[in-house]
Amino acid sequence: MEQPSSQHLWRRLERVRRRLDEENLDALLVTHGPNIRYLTNFQGTSASLLVSGNVCYLVTDGRYLTAARELIESIHGPRQTELVSVIHKYEETLGSLLVSSNVVRVGFEAARMTVRTHSSLSAALEQALTGGRAVPALVPTTRVVEQVRILKDDYELATLRAAGRILTTVASNVRRTIRRGRQEREVAAEIDATLRKAGFERPAFDTIVASGPNSALPHAQPTDRALVEGDIVLLDFGGVFRGYCVDLSRVATIGPPSETACRLHAAVADAQRAALATIRPGAWASDVDSAARRVLEENGLGKAFGHGTGHGLGLEIHEEPRIGRRETDREHAAALGSDGLLSSGMVFTVEPGAYEPDCGGVRIEDDVLVTDDGYELLTDVGRELWVQL
């Protein structure tokens, strides 16, 4: 099945509607593309979705009307959804729609709407009103759809499991492409081609191939630097499969590994194992980070680990849950989405790293699913230091 069914979409919408009831909202205006896709399967680059108690309105312009109509009428389309065409401007169309829908409190995605769009929509609402009626209130919301997306349904889990298996195969093939004399850009281009050949729609992000001192930069961009004897080579790559992202990192050396490479790799591998052992329903996301960070600190590498231990995976390469440092006020952090209790159905990366400037860096990353009694690895290829002789 290439897309979620109408039944999947209906269940997702019902979960969003329950959130609206909790926040005393009559409707939610969804403008973030991945959220619209999650609730409708619509993949156009320009659209809005108004979710109310018993009907949805998919608003798009003439470029996508035919595709949107065909989607709504298909077995993969959202139920009880009406198509609304933009005539002049999106804000004018949305203003008229909100007024005609008789909604009083309308949530909008505060982190996704610009001040300019908010001002234009507010003005459009004023213009659309007749008969002295009150202006619908635009209520800022955060993470309404994202908190639904954090728990993957059976379609998403099947897709992510398949994507993880494919990425594991790609990684096995990538291991053979690391050779002295090859440029970082050359290796990265071959990884991207391998991802597409394996069945991914595209890379999930800009592939990282960082060698020698470049490997000490966690998000280094591939350069023309050639791989030479003694290099640590950091590889970080992922793919998009049926819209869903997976991600993996491994480390190789050109020739026998140096003492630095062995020391960093052993510590990071231990840190990942400690983090994985912490994963279970009811654990805090920050506990996973703390477990990895503690091991690195014990090895004198606490300051060499400057990023979080992981991030959620799904329609976006970085989404909830966030696997980062523990904050003093956990409940406040949970409300903001920077921490939270793990639940069965969450999918995220576990990727501790250690980076020493001018020497090199190591990161080991895998994708995991939280299960009822622990976790399931979605990627599983050798985590040892890949030595290319």
The runs of H, that is alpha helices, within 52-114 are 65-72, 90-100
Strand extents, DSSP E, 32-129: 47-52, 56-60, 81-85, 105-109
Residue 126, pLDDT score: 86
Q: Are strands 244-254 and 232-241 parallel, antiparallel or unpaired?
A: antiparallel
Joined tokens for residue 238: 């992922």
Could you tell me if 319 and 367 are in contact, meaning their C-beta atoms sit under 8 angstroms apart?
no
pLDDT tens for 254-313 read 999 999 999 999 999 999 999 999 999 999 999 999 999 999 999 999 999 999 999 999
pLDDT tens for 172-209 read 999 988 999 999 999 999 999 999 999 999 999 999 99
Rg of the chain over Cα atoms, rounded to whole angstroms, equals 23
This prediction's pTM: 0.96
**What amino acid is encoded at 347 in this protein?**
V
For the chain, what are the domain ranges?
Answer: 6-148, 150-388
Cα–Cα dist 348/368, whole Å: 6
Determine whether domain 6-148 maps to CATH 3.40.350.10. yes
Residue 9, pLDDT score: 97
Q: Are strands 56-60 and 47-52 parallel, antiparallel or unpaired?
A: antiparallel
pLDDT under 50: residue ranges of the chain: none
Cα–Cα dist 366/352, whole Å: 10
Residue 1, pLDDT score: 58
State CA 365 to chain mean position distance.
15
Domain 150-388 has what CATH class?
alpha beta
CB atoms within 10 A of CB 213: 17
